[in-house]
Structure 1
Amino acid sequence: MFTGIIQAIGEVADLQQRGGDVRLRVLTGKLDLSDVELGDSIAVNGVCLTAVDLPGDGFVADVSRETLSLTSLGQLGSGSKVNLEKALTLATRLGGHLVSGHVDGLGKVVERHDDARSVRFSIEAPTELARYIAHKGSITVDGTSLTVNAVDGCRFELNIVPHTLQETIMGGYGVGSKVNLEVDLVARYLERLLLGDKAAEPGAGSIDMDLLARTGFLKG
């Protein structure tokens, strides 16, 4: 688990193709690795990866074909900047929100404009994720815990302050940038709870108007 508070900006040093998947080496910069051991988790642009080697200036992780297909990690190259966060401990301040490091889908930046010293981004999410994104709710973008300022269909808006622009890779986003999205865990569990016993039935996966009516959320 993670908090969505980015601890450092790292840099991809190398990507090696290995039998269809990739071995990734990341230079971690100011990230303190003194308490990291082999097998520990580190989030790279919001993707939970396992450290399989610790060469001293960073870490090495294997990235599966599934992860490459579902996230933006497959688009990285040598020199790419990445957001980094070590897994939380019981002593960690929960300054963001609970983040699993399991990306739900890829979003796309569709608009960027300055707003005083902040920058406003409009991001388009996959259709199947839209129902989990709420005004003033939490969302994780490339591992960064953020508050949704507005929602319009599949698009949501973010207001990013100067500190976040400086301490994450968001300052480098432009129109067309692909970003990893993880929706709020509570929203996902709530959906399954509302399904009740139907959650065990094959094909049960989402809430529809009939379910809301039967469970008393809609009045006739």
Structure 2
Amino acid sequence: MFTGIIQAVGSIATLQPAGGDLRLRVHSGKLDLADVQLGDSIATNGVCLTVTELPGDGYWADVSRETLDFTTLGGLQPGSRVNLEKALTPASRLGGHIVSGHIDGVGEVVSAVEDGRSWRYVMRAPDGLAKYIAHKGSICVDGTSLTVNAVHGAEFELNIIPQTRAETVFAEYRPGSPVNLEVDVIARYLERLVLGDAAAVPGQAGVSLATLAENGYLRG
């Protein structure tokens, strides 16, 4: 588990194809690895990766076919900068929100404009994730915990303060840039809970108006 508070910006050193998936070496930059052991987790652009080797200046991790299909990691190049966060401990401060490191989908940067000393970004989520994004709710973008300022269909707005922009890869985003998105874990579980027994039915698409009415969420 993570908090979405980025601890350092690292860079991709090596992408090594391995039996249909990928081995990834990351230079960890200023991230302190003194307390990291083999098998520990590090969120890399929001993707929870298991450390398999510690060469001293970073770490190696295996990236499965599943992860390559549902994240942006396969599109990175040597030198690409990435947000890094070590897994939280019982003593960690939960400065962001609860983040699992399991990416729900790849979104896209629509625009980025200066707004005072901050920057206002508009991003577009895949249509299937739009229902989980709420005004003033939380979302994780490339591992960064953020508050949603506004929602317009599948598009949502974010206000990025100077500190966040300086300590993450946000300054490198351009219109069209792909980003890893993780929606609020509470929203995902709430949907399943509202389904009730119907959650066990194969092919159940999600919460419908009929489901909401049956559970007392709609009034006639």
| TM-score when normalising by structure 2 | 0.99
Q: Does 1:126 align with 2:108?
A: no
Aligned pairs (5 A) from 1:36-185: 36-185=36-185
Instruction: After TM superposition, give the deviation of residue 112 of structure 1 in Å.
Output: 1.0
- CA distance in 1 between partners of 2:191 and 2:112 (Å): 32
- CA distance in 2 between partners of 1:173 and 1:130 (Å): 21
- CA distance in 2 between partners of 1:205 and 1:93 (Å): 36
Contact 1:199 1:205 (8 Å CA) reproduced: no
Considering only aligned residues, what root-mean-square deviation do their CA atoms show, in Å?
A: 0.6
Runs (4+) of structure 1 moved beyond 3 Å?
none
Q: Give unmatched runs, 5+ long, in structure 2.
A: none
Instruction: After TM superposition, give the deviation of residue 30 of structure 1 in Å.
Output: 0.7
Q: Give unmatched runs, 5+ long, in structure 1.
A: none
* 1:89-114 residue CA offsets vs partner (Å, 9 max, x unmatched): 00000000000000000000011111
In the other structure, the counterpart of 1:186 is 186
Instruction: After TM superposition, give the deviation of residue 204 of structure 1 in Å.
Output: 2.0
- CA distance in 2 between partners of 1:107 and 1:160 (Å): 17
Equivalenced residues, count: 220
| TM-score when normalising by structure 1 | 0.99
Contact 1:119 1:161 (8 Å CA) reproduced: yes
SS of corresponding position for 2:212 = helix
Give 2:26's aligned amino acid: V
* 1:170-207 residue CA offsets vs partner (Å, 9 max, x unmatched): 11111000000000000011111101111111122411
- CA distance in 2 between partners of 1:38 and 1:205 (Å): 39
Give 2:127's aligned amino acid: T
Instruction: After TM superposition, give the deviation of residue 20 of structure 1 in Å.
Output: 1.2
SS of corresponding position for 1:136 = coil
In the other structure, the counterpart of 1:199 is 199
